[in-house]
């Protein structure tokens, strides 16, 4: 049933007749809370009338076999704090309210408030204090835990959901999180696969937790993607993990593996004395900013001529990874940056680190998954398609032919 109701100025004037200060509206006994209580009780009364088939006081109800039977008191938690409401009853006991179901003690939206606070990285104790301060409501730690634990079913469903058959680009990376395990706090790797789908939209394909970051576990992750329906990945951007390209090739033999240049630069600078970093960085940038792969190799040789004796490990590292450094040169400069760097997943990690840094450690893997999933779900609402994707689509269609879904559009 759709009702178009206009709140007239006269009605507003009547409601605000005694308004003097903001607390008269938003305070513990303010108008907002009174209106919510009145509207809830009126709606429940309308539900009972619908259930009985007649309005209160209507003679048509006589001899119907069921009738109103007073009310029962109930306290519900809402965004305005606790509200005491009178829930109507029927003599047959067959009335099942829809607005606030039997056994329900929290109004729609209150659980979302708890989850929103949890997704910001707040602990159970902090959420409890925040709700008490904001709404004057004492919420037990058990209630908060039950609300957040209910998310685990959603996490498991999300983690096993079917995926698209083809993803043009998938960024693979890992985030370190402190998790209590067998009585000890350990640094565990949370593996993240962030994809760009054929429409250029970001999508986190999944989260996986393991003790250490390694190629064996990545093989498990990639097999999981295959099981969930991913038949092809055009480009996989990785962080230089030894054995990772082989793990990808064993499942997706046609996939182009691109080493993340940001990781390679970061690892290169680890060899460099602090006083030399400012001078050496332009020489490294000249390698991946070259016009093409051949010129990049020339720039690498120039780098080795200038810095090779002092820092031989840098040139050696780039040469070992060279096969997976150069694939992005097949694309125009405007598209290359999107491919050769895991900036997209690094940005996601930055937002996640902000959330988890105040937590210290998590009691178990599930607690970490809950928070990270909720944070990703919130982040997803803000993601937008990159402006460079239109150009990328055309180049992917040329480079990969029928393997790129957009080539058929």
Residues 309 and 385 in one domain: yes
Residues 173 and 89 in one domain: no
pLDDT of residue 409: 46
Evaluate whether residue 114 is within a structural domain.
no
Report d(CA 277, CA 108) in Å as an integer. 55
Q: What is the pTM of this model?
A: 0.70
* Per-position DSSP letters for 250-293, written without gaps between them: HH-TTPEEEE-HHHHHHHHHTTS-HHHHHHHHHHHHHHHTSSSH
Residues 229 and 370 in one domain: yes
Residues 182 and 273 in one domain: yes
Report d(CA 234, CA 364) in Å as an integer. 35
Angle CA(376)–CA(239)–CA(375) in degrees, nearest 5? Answer: 10
54-95 pLDDT tens trace: 888 888 778 788 888 889 888 877 766 778 888 889 989 898
- List, in sequence order, every residue forming a beta bridge with 75; answer none if it has no partner: 84
Residues 215 and 299 in one domain: yes
Evaluate whether residue 144 is within a structural domain.
no
Residues 221 and 334 in one domain: yes
Residues 177 and 96 in one domain: no
Report d(CA 360, CA 398) in Å as an integer. 48
Q: Residue 259: phi, psi to the nearest 5?
A: -70, 135
Residues 49 and 190 in one domain: no
203-219 pLDDT tens trace: 999 999 886 666 778 88
The pair of three-digit structure tokens given for residue 386, joined into one six-digit string: 């990159």
Evaluate whether residue 118 is within a structural domain.
no
Residues 99 and 172 in one domain: no
Evaluate whether residue 76 is within a structural domain.
yes
Evaluate whether residue 368 is within a structural domain.
yes
Evaluate whether residue 122 is within a structural domain.
no
Residues 84 and 185 in one domain: no
The structural domain count of the chain equals 2
Low-confidence ranges of the chain (pLDDT < 50): 1-2, 408-409
Evaluate whether residue 159 is within a structural domain.
no
The pair of three-digit structure tokens given for residue 57, joined into one six-digit string: 């006081």
Residues 172 and 291 in one domain: yes
Domain that holds residue 334: 166-408
Evaluate whether residue 136 is within a structural domain.
no
Residues 89 and 179 in one domain: no
Residue 362: exposed, middle, or buried by beta-carbon count in 10 A (0-12, 13-18, 19+)? Answer: buried
């Amino acid at each position: 049933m759709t009702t178009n109701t206009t709140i007239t100025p006269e009605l507003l004037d009547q409601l605000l007749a005694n308004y003097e200060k903001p607390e008269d509206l938003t305070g513990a006994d303010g108008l907002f809370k009174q209106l919510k209580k009145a509207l809830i009780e009126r709606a429940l009364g309308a539900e009972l009338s619908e259930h009985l088939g007649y309005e209160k006081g209507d003679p048509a109800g006589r001899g119907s076999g069921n009738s109103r039977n007073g009310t029962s008191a109930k306290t519900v938690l809402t965004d305005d704090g606790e509200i005491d409401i009178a829930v109507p009853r029927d003599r047959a006991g067959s009335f099942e309210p829809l607005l606030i179901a039997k056994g329900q003690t929290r109004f729609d939206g209150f659980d979302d408030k708890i989850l929103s606070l949890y997704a910001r990285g707040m602990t159970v104790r902090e959420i409890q204090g925040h709700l008490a301060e904001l709404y004057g409501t004492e919420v037990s730690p058990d209630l908060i835990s039950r609300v957040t634990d209910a998310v685990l079913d959603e996490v498991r469903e999300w983690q096993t959901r079917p995926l698209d058959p083809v993803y043009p680009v998938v960024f693979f990376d890992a985030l370190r999180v402190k998790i209590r395990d067998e009585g000890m706090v350990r640094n565990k790797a949370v593996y993240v696969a962030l994809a760009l789908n054929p429409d250029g939209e970001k999508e986190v394909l999944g989260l996986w937790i393991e003790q250490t970051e390694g190629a064996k576990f990545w093989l498990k992750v990639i097999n999981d993607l295959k099981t969930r329906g991913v038949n092809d990945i055009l480009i996989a951007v990785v962080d230089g993990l030894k054995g990772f390209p082989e793990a990808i090739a064993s499942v997706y033999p046609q996939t182009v593996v691109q080493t993340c240049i940001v990781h390679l630069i970061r690892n290169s600078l680890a060899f460099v004395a602090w006083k030399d970093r400012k001078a050496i960085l332009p020489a490294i940038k000249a390698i991946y900013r070259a016009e093409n792969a051949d010129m990049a190799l020339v720039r690498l040789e120039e780098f080795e001529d200038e810095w090779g004796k002092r820092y031989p490990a840098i040139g050696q590292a780039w040469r070992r990874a060279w096969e997976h450094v150069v694939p992005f040169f097949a694309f125009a400069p405007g598209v290359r940056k999107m491919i050769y760097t895991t900036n997209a997943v690094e940005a996601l990690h930055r937002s996640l680190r902000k959330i988890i840094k105040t937590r210290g450690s998590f009691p178990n893997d599930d607690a970490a998954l809950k928070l990270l999933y909720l944070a990703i779900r919130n982040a997803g609402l803000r993601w937008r398609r990159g402006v460079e994707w239109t150009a990328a689509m055309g180049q992917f269609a040329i480079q990969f032919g029928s393997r790129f879904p957009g080539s058929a559009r």
